[in-house]
Chains A and B, each alone.
Chain A
Amino acid sequence: MQPTPKQRLWMYEMMVKNRYNEARLSATYMEGKSPLFNMANGPLPGEMHLSDGQEPCAVGLGAHLTKDDYFACHHRSHAQALAKGVDLKRMTAEILGRKAGLSEGRAGHIHIFDYEVLFWSSGIIGQNMGPAVGAALARKMRGEAGIAIACIGEGGANQGGFHEAMNLAAVWKLPFICVIEDNQWAVSVPKSKSTAIASNADRAAAYGMPGERVISNDPDDIFAAVGRAVARARAGEGPSLLELQTVRLQGHFMGDPEVYRPKAEIAAKPEMDPIPRYRRKLIAAGVMTEIEADAIVARAHAEVDEAFAFARAAAEPAPEDAFDKVFV
């Protein structure tokens, strides 16, 4: 299954949009944090996990999903959120802790919740597996369209709940896909020191489901693999496991000095960046020209700038709003 030119252009635009969004978040995050870096300071306090480099996983997935597909994501979720169609203005406002944010400022960047497109993310590793399986169960019980995806990192595949949820999804033959974004690093621990086998796709055999690993971090390859798993889920044939090798171009969180990362790997980051590579590929394939590519970039940047203008102008929540929404 190959993406159409239109789908390829969409994937390129979403990748560019995410990358610029991360750059603007990064700059905003650093405001008020120098000369002394303190996570608690500035207009964007707290933790910040950027998704630079992992965009191909997000767009290869997002190109196949509709707003009826339930998507439970990990903590490095910005690219996935954009590709799923999360409202960028309200997401940015949430990350900046504004009343106009998706959760009215109660959640922050780790917990992006947009019910309109059934997307959420969480910072507890592997926590999203069970809920995605349950959402798939709900879709199946009601005979509704829509599948469910849990997206975790390769570190999440070593959680006990991963095994429980994979088995449950398989024994009930649910329209569920587990996507592992393998960026090689679980905070500071490399996959080779945390995982007994090279490919987590091999684990699919333990649950009697298909498993596939994509190593290129290329949107087209990921699109094809996701397409097979989505088709299987939509046809009622059961769950699938995908492992997508990708790259974490930033530290685990902003402020992470990455002392654990080999210098050669840090030096090689520019070559590992999937976005310039995909741009060259689409231009070479005649899908777009340099001028068209620049126009896409400009459009994506304008949209992000608009979202930041909206978020920065938005009001903060009232202190007493903290007491609302504990119960519905």
Chain B
Amino acid sequence: MSVVEATAVKPAQKNRNERKLTIAKALNEAIAQEMRRDKNVFLMGEDIGILGAVWGYTGGLLAEFGEERVRDTPISETAFIGAAVGAANLGMRPIVELMFVDFYGVCMDAIYNLAAKSSYHSAGTFKAPMVLTTAVGGGYCDSTQHSQCLYATFAHLPGMKVVMPSNAYDAKGMMTSAIRDDNPVVFMMHKNLQGMGFLGTIQGAIVDVPEDSYTVPLGKANVVRDGTDVTIVGLGMTVHQGLEAAKTLEKEGVSAEVVDLRSLAPLDRDTVCRSVQKTGRLIVVDDDYLSYGVTAEIIATVTERDIKSLKCPPKRIAFPDIPIPFARPMEQHCLPNVRKIVAAARAMM
């Protein structure tokens, strides 16, 4: 297993006041602590300096670490993501910001051919320890090119880790792990969980975060609610929808277990299968496009390993295979939501 896990530090939990942070603040703290700890860690990307990043997680870093280590770039994603690979090859640990995941189309070669294959086709000699941060998700009327998730697009391509926290505690620990990882990590931030002043935030994402540095291992799913009748699998925002649905179902006498994947690559198939063996029913919720995606991968995993663990056909709830429309009635109709999850669970009972 990775170095990260071996050196995991348990935070001091006793004798301290609760401190609720947004994901943005938690990420900021993780990055600042790692930059103090390791001079090879630096930030590079669009609007991460004086603005503090569009997604609010780099505020104050310019003041503390200066322009050398907090580098605003021109709008040249191919160059600066490629540059991150070259710098990482020589031992730096860049954190690079891609802003919206939708923008990967202008620079995908640097991600999937350069970063993701650097280790493999050099037999591990040209390492690419870098974190690529990017925001995902819609639901706030940002239309076709600013609302996508594209989890499956990245998770499909070997050689990079692909992760997304659903709350601030995981965000800090996973970012610390990502920075210390010797492989490229695509670190996704869900806009509806991030804690931005200009956008609503699901309150469940804002949780107590220890001040001390700690790690949450990449590649480990988290059972965020125990249950016995149905397993609801999600990541990021859909975890919170699953938790809401579980509350409603509980009133109806249905006990739902909710699994937060946290990482798509590596994918913690064991935790998912263990849960389904217990509950016998499976609903996978994903705000990325439906076909060839996370929902299919999870269901294929469960059916390949032990189809007899399922008491009824599994159900997937995901964004349909259409571009994301602007107008609220159309977009909301297509997105996964609590109502759809509850209905799916009821139909299984």
Mutual binders A and B: yes
- B113 proximity list for chain A (CB < 8 A): 122, 124, 127
Q: Once the chains bind, are B182 and A130 in contact (CB under 8 Å)? A: no
Report which of B77, B80, B87 forms a contact with A135, defined as CB distance below 8 A.
B87
Residues of A136-165 whose CB lies within 8 A of B: 136-139, 141-142, 148, 160-161, 164-165
Do A103 and B121 touch (CB < 8 A)?
A: yes
Decide: B82 and A134 in contact? CB cutoff 8 A: yes
Closest to B183 in A: A327
A296 interfacial contact with B, CB 8 Å: no
* Shortest Cβ gap from A160 to chain B (Å): 7
Contact B83 A133 (CB under 8 A): yes
Q: In the complex, which residues of chain B have a beta carbon less than 8 angstroms from the beta carbon of A127?
A: 82, 109-110, 113-114
Whether B182 lies near A124 (C-beta < 8 A) is no
B216 at the interface (CB under 8 A from A): no
A42 adjacent to chain B (CB < 8 Å): no
Contact mask for chain B residues 67-96; partner A; CB cutoff 8 A; 1 contact, 0 none:
011010110111111111111111110100
Q: Judging by beta carbons under 8 Å apart, are A113 and B122 in contact?
A: yes
Rounded to whole angstroms, the CA-CA distance of A5 and B278 in the bound complex is: 79
Are B82 and A104 neighbours in the complex by a CB distance under 8 Å? no
- Would A134 and B86 count as touching, CB distance under 8 A? yes
Which residues on the B side are within 8 Å of A141 (C-beta)? 42, 68-69, 87, 92
Indicate if the CB atoms of B183 and A131 lie closer than 8 Å.
Answer: no
B87 touches A138 (CB 8 A): yes
- Which residues of A81-130 have CB atoms within 8 Å of chain B's CB atoms? 102-104, 106-107, 111, 113, 115, 118, 120, 122, 124, 127, 129-130
- B42 near A72 (CB under 8 angstroms)? no
Instruction: State the CA gap A134–B123 with chains docked (Å).
Output: 21
A26 at the interface (CB under 8 A from B): no
Known contacts A130-B79, A134-B83, A327-B159, A102 near B89 by CB under 8 Å: no
For residue B104, CB closer than 8 A to chain A, the reply is: no
CA distance A70 to B84 in the complex (A): 14
Query: Quick check: which of B27-35, B124-132, B141-149 contacts chain A, the rest being far away?
Result: B124-132
Q: B158, A326: Cβ atoms under 8 Å?
A: yes
B119 in the interface (beta carbon within 8 A): yes
Complex contacts, A263 vs chain B, CB 8 Å: none
Alpha-carbon gap, A171 to B83, bound state (A) = 14
Does A167 count as interface, using CB distance less than 8 angstroms?
Answer: yes
Interchain CB contact under 8 A, B120 and A168: no
Most buried by B among A106, A118, A138: A138
Is A196 interfacial (CB-CB < 8 Å)? no
Within 8 Å by CB of A328, from B76, B121, B124, lies: B124
B41 to chain A, nearest CB (A): 11
Residues of A within 8 Å of B120, CB to CB, are 106, 325-326
Whether B79 contacts A161 by the Cβ 8 Å rule is yes
Alpha-carbon distance between A118 and B88 when the two chains are bound, in angstroms: 13
Give Cα distance in the complex from A6 to B87, angstroms.
34
Residues of B94-119 whose CB lies within 8 A of A: 94, 109-110, 113-114, 119
| Pairwise interchain contact B91-A129, C-beta atoms closer than 8 A | no
- Report Cα–Cα, A86/B160, bound state, in Å: 28
Partner of B122, one of A72, A103, A161: A103
Segment 288-328 of A: residues with Cβ below 8 Å from B: 325-328
Instruction: Give the complex CA separation of A107 and B121 in angstroms.
Output: 5
Give chain A residues whose Cβ lies under 8 Å from the Cβ of B119.
Answer: 325-328
Query: Which residues of A lie under 8 Å from residue B91 when comparing CB positions?
Result: 138
* Chain B residues, Cβ within 8 Å of A172: 71
Report the bound CA distance from A168 to B78 in whole Å: 11
CA distance A141 to B76 in the complex (A): 20
Taking the complex as formed, is A132 at the interface, i.e. its CB lies under 8 A from any CB of chain B?
A: yes
Q: Are A106 and B74 in contact (CB under 8 A)?
A: no
Pairwise interchain contact A138-B90, C-beta atoms closer than 8 A: yes
Interface 1/0 per residue, B287-320 and A, CB below 8 Å = 0000000000000000000000000000000000
Chain A residues with CB below 8 A from B158, complex form: 326
CA distance A106 to B125 in the complex (A): 12
A138 CB, min distance to chain B CBs, angstroms: 4
Residues of B contacting A103 with CB < 8 Å? 121-123
Q: How far is the CA of A115 from the CA of B85 in the complex (A)?
A: 14
Contact with B74, one of A142, A160, A164 (Cβ below 8 angstroms): A164
* Contact (Cβ within 8 A) B159 A326: yes
Max chain A Cβ within 10 angstroms of own Cβ: one of B68, B74, B120? B120
Nearest Cβ on chain B to A141's Cβ, whole angstroms: 6
Could you tell me if A72 and B86 are in contact, using CB atoms closer than 8 angstroms? Answer: yes
Contact: B121 with A134, CB < 8 Å? no
- CB <8 Å contact, A115 and B74: no
Complex Cα spacing A70 to B85, Å: 12
Contact A102/B123 with A127-B113, A168-B73, A326-B159 known, Cβ cut-off 8 Å: yes
| Contact A131–B92 (Cβ < 8 Å) | no
Chain A residues near B183: list those with CB within 8 A: 327-328
Which of B74, B82, B123, B125 is the one whose CB lies under 8 Å from A161? B82
Closest 8 CB pairs of A and B: A130-B82, A134-B86, A134-B83, A131-B86, A164-B79, A164-B76, A113-B122, A115-B125
Known: A130-B79, A138-B86. 13 other contacts (CB 8 A): A111-B121, A113-B125, A120-B126, A122-B113, A127-B113, A131-B83, A131-B86, A138-B89, A165-B79, A325-B123, A325-B124, A326-B119, A326-B120
